[in-house]
Structure formats: structure tokens, C-alpha cells
């Protein structure tokens, strides 16, 4: 890709995206520039990835063909007010803020700007991210292809209607945390059963990875795959029955629902 990418903000998500892009070889480090308020974070990411860094957000805006705002939603108005007069002509603004609509972000710029909303997740750091995107009317098909190239460099992406972006937050943006909790719980049970903790995490994590790959690569319904593991009167169906009695399925659905609701609430502030 013959583009320069700028990041304003290098928290967990911004750092994961930078790491994913470089690891995939989509861009060389000299094509990436990032800014942040904390000097220590800038030093660390420069040492780790060899990218250009600065504490001047305007400099990033002036250089970047694709400008990724990897900052908290509550600081968008302040940062955009700071950089809106410094944007490179024709640049694409990429927002990864949960709850902020295209219309809201456009209003902060107070001018016609190309804006793409993206909801990535932190597994981007290991090339296994899942991202959703939508865009405003000023973004071209070529622009979308460029953004998809970035997102596909560290995982998979899907275009969705903007009204589904809050749902995306619940099902993929935040869900790695749910899965980590699940892995930790399984590992704790294995430790209780006598297995060393480091080994327990490997067994639990690899099992989750393998199950996910089965869903994605076979195309078989998850319910069928579950049934295939459950022998009549066996150990697995006993465990499934206990999960159902404990409300596992409804707890997961409720967690996603409250996450979606929180994302919508943040957008209405």
C-alpha cells in the first residue's frame, strides 16, 4: 500500500493495530507515524516497531493519508478541534470509538470529511482480529478497499450498516474479554483438578482456538459441532447440562446485550 498511516493514540487497540500492520508486512515502519500524550508510551512503541512518533497531533494530521483516531470517545471533540485545520487533502479519517456515529464525528469537523467507522478488537496484535466498518458518503470504493486492506492485514473484516455498529461492539469489540474470562475459569478448574497452571492455560486456550477454527473453516453450525462432541450418557453432555442449569447461555447473551446498550448510551451523550 502506497499510503502513510497516522495514529493519534497508542493505547491497547492502537498498539495492536500497529503491531498487526507491521507484522503482516502491509507497510514498512517509515510509513507509520503515531502521537500520544505520554512520552513513555511513545518511546516504547518507537523502540518496539521502529515507527515515527511525536507528541504533536497536528503533525500526524498533516502527514497521514489515513488518520486513525485511536482515542477515547470523550476526547474526540477536543482532539478534532485541534487537528481539523491541519488535515491532509483527501485524507481518510478512521474512528475506532464505540458509540460515536458518523454524523456526530462529521459534526465535530464541521466540514465535508471522509470518515470510516471501524470497530476492531485486540487480537489484531496476533493477526486474528475481527473488524467491522461503515462509512459516510464522501468515502470512495477505492478508499474502502484501502481500509479493508489494513483490517485484513491483521485478521478479518466485514462491512455492516451503521445501525449494527453497537451490536458489533458487543459481539466482537468487547468479546475477547469474555473469552479470556472463560479461558481463565476453565484453567482454574483444571488447576483445581491437579494440573499445573501454565499447562492449564495452554489446554484451555488451544481448545478455544481449535473450536473457533472449526466454526470458521468447516461452516458447520455451532450446535451441530457441539452435538458431535456429546456422546450419549458421556462426560461432555454432563458438562453441557450443568452449564445450562447454571444459565451459561443466558448469561452470555445478557453480557452482549448490556454491552450493546452501553455503546448506544455512549453515543447519545
Q: What is the pLDDT, as a whole number, of residue 12?
A: 85
| Alpha-carbon span 10 to 211, nearest angstrom | 32
What H or E segment, with its residue span, contains residue 130? strand 129-135
Q: What is the pLDDT, as a whole number, of residue 160?
A: 97
Q: What is the pLDDT, as a whole number, of residue 259?
A: 94
| Alpha-carbon span 100 to 185, nearest angstrom | 33
Q: What is the pLDDT, as a whole number, of residue 24?
A: 87
Cβ-in-10-Å burial (0-12, 13-18, 19+) of 70 comes to: buried
Residue 6 DSSP one-character state = E
Q: What is the pLDDT, as a whole number, of residue 29?
A: 95
Residues 6+ apart with CB under 8 A from 82: 57, 58
Domain covering 175-267, topology? ProC C-terminal domain-like fold (1.10.3730)
CATH, range 5-162:
3.40.50.720
**Per-domain residue ranges for the chain?**
5-162, 175-267
- Chunked into runs of 10 residues, the chain (269 residues) has average pLDDT values of 92 88 91 93 93 96 96 94 94 93 94 95 90 97 95 94 94 95 98 98 98 97 97 97 97 96 79
Per the document, the length of the chain is: 269
CB atoms within 10 A of CB 211: 14
| Alpha-carbon span 83 to 96, nearest angstrom | 17
CA distances from 255 to 72, 164, 240 (A): 22, 17, 19
Amino acid at each position: 500500500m502506497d499510503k502513510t498511516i497516522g495514529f493519534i493514540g497508542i493505547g491497547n487497540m492502537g498498539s495492536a493495530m500497529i503491531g498487526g500492520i507491521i507484522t503482516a508486512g502491509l507497510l514498512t515502519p517509515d510509513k507509520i507515524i503515531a502521537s500520544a500524550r505520554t512520552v513513555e508510551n511513545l518511546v516504547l512503541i518507537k523502540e518496539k516497531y521502529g515507527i515515527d512518533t511525536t507528541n504533536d497531533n497536528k503533525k500526524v494530521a498533516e502527514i497521514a493519508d489515513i488518520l486513525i483516531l485511536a482515542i477515547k470517545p470523550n476526547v474526540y471533540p477536543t482532539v478534532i478541534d485541534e487537528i481539523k485545520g491541519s488535515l491532509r487533502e483527501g485524507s481518510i479519517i478512521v474512528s475506532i470509538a464505540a458509540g460515536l456515529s458518523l454524523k456526530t464525528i462529521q459534526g465535530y469537523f464541521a466540514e465535508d470529511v471522509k470518515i470510516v467507522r471501524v470497530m476492531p478488537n485486540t487480537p489484531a496484535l496476533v493477526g486474528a482480529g475481527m473488524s467491522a466498518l461503515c462509512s459516510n458518503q464522501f468515502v470512495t470504493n477505492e478508499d474502502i478497499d484501502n481500509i479493508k486492506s489494513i483490517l485484513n492485514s491483521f485478521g478479518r473484516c466485514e462491512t455492516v450498516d451503521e445501525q449494527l455498529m453497537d451490536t458489533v461492539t458487543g459481539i466482537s469489540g468487547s468479546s475477547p474479554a469474555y473469552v479470556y474470562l472463560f479461558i481463565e475459569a476453565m484453567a482454574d478448574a483444571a488447576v483445581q483438578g491437579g494440573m499445573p497452571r501454565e499447562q492449564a492455560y495452554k489446554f484451555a486456550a488451544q481448545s478455544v482456538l481449535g473450536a473457533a477454527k472449526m466454526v470458521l473453516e468447516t461452516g458447520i453450525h455451532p450446535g451441530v459441532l457441539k452435538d458431535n462432541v456429546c456422546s450419549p450418557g458421556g462426560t461432555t453432555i454432563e458438562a453441557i447440562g450443568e452449564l445450562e442449569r447454571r444459565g451459561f447461555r443466558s448469561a452470555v447473551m445478557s453480557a452482549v446485550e448490556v454491552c450493546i446498550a452501553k455503546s448506544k448510551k455512549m453515543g447519545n451523550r
